[in-house]
Amino acid sequence: MAKKTEEKEKEKQTKSSVNKQLLRQQSIICDNLSFAAAEAYKLLRANLQFTLPKEGCHIIGMTSSLRGEGKSTTAINLAYTLAQAGKRVLLIDADMRLPSVGSRLSLEQTPGLSNLLANLCAPEEALRQTKYFTNWYVMPSGDIPPNPSELLGSERMEELLDNFSQSFDFIILDLPPVGIVSDALAVSTLTDGLLVVVRQNYSNRNALGDCMYQIERFNVKFLGFVMTGVAGGEGAYKRYGRYSKYGKYDRSSYGKGYGYGYGYGYSKSYGYGYGYSKSYGRRSKDGKDGSAFHEATVARKNDASQSGAKDEV
């Protein structure tokens, strides 16, 4: 009897911890964003629209080198910001090993992507319209499959993306970390490029180097970094810096000189910045290189990070 009581108490504590964590995660997405964070995502939106071709649907993959760097939060907020601008947006939770998009947006997890790829449901059954905008749809990951990498790299996945491209302006794929599993690379060739999320004082240089090595090895277009967990300095809109140049990297030294072009500080708790230079090497003198490196550092609340509100994926 005592053992059963103890097990029930542990289960209750676990559920309570999960609920608290979910509430913390929901406090930093969509209409809960601070002014500075919302503006940072708008800068990211502007950078992407500048970088990508103006016509047709844009398929963007969101990944990271490690778990916990904030890629799912970034994917949700980017989709929200794009929908806010009137774009028709589809956010797909393609992290079928550790899905989180559905729970954060309070949507049913199944049926979803895995069910659709296995021909177990119709496309309309896997889509959910969000409560925020009528032009923003979400596809949860669905049931956890035994072979997510094979499903993401299948012809069926390519077919689905082609079909959805006829109805949406942007498709955002929340992918697993490149440095942990191969799922993101399996579907990356079907995208217009990858955004890599890095977390300040958390990301590992070697892991990030491996991540970038894999992206280059698979010849995937690299759209840029998004930095999370950044705390700004005091004062409004200060700390102007200089454009930084990014050179070639190798797997062991990647990350040296990492930074952003210029930034702004906003109040005591928030900060963001963005910048660009050429993805690999120096920018051309006329500045018209189409592969310009784009980066946005996304503001996050200090108290959220201090309370342990880490993004699990």
For residue 241, tell me if it sits in a domain.
yes
Cβ contacts of 128 within 8 Å, gap of 6 or more: 102, 105, 107, 108, 137, 138, 139, 140
For residue 49, tell me if it sits in a domain.
yes
What average pLDDT does the chain have? 74
Cβ burial 206-237 (10 Å sphere, 16+ → b, else e): ebbbbbbbbbeeeebbbbbbbbbbbbbeeeee
For residue 88, tell me if it sits in a domain.
yes
Instruction: Identify the weakest region by mean pLDDT among 19-23, 117-121, 141-145.
Output: 19-23
For residue 312, tell me if it sits in a domain.
no
Predicted pLDDT of residue 197: 95
Give the DSSP per-residue string, 159-218: HHHHHHTTT-SEEEEEPPPTTT-SHHHHHHTTSSEEEEEEETTT--HHHHHHHHHHHHHT
Q: Domains in the chain: how many in total?
A: 1
What is the domain range of residue 272?
Answer: 2-306
Quick: pLDDT tens for 185-233: 999 999 999 999 999 889 889 999 999 999 999 999 999 999 988 765 4
For residue 98, tell me if it sits in a domain.
yes
Across the range 12-34, mean pLDDT stands at 63
Pair 309, 24: CB distance under 8 Å: yes
pLDDT band at residue 27 under the 50/70/90 scheme: low
Q: What is the pTM of this model?
A: 0.70
User: 3-class DSSP state for residue 128?
Assistant: strand
For residue 313, tell me if it sits in a domain.
no
Alpha-carbon torsion, ordered 249, 252, 255, 257, to 10 deg: -70
Predicted pLDDT of residue 261: 28
Predicted pLDDT of residue 182: 86
For residue 311, tell me if it sits in a domain.
no
Domain harbouring 289, CATH code:
3.40.50.300
Beta bridge partners of 273: 263, 297
For residue 129, tell me if it sits in a domain.
yes
Predicted pLDDT of residue 269: 28
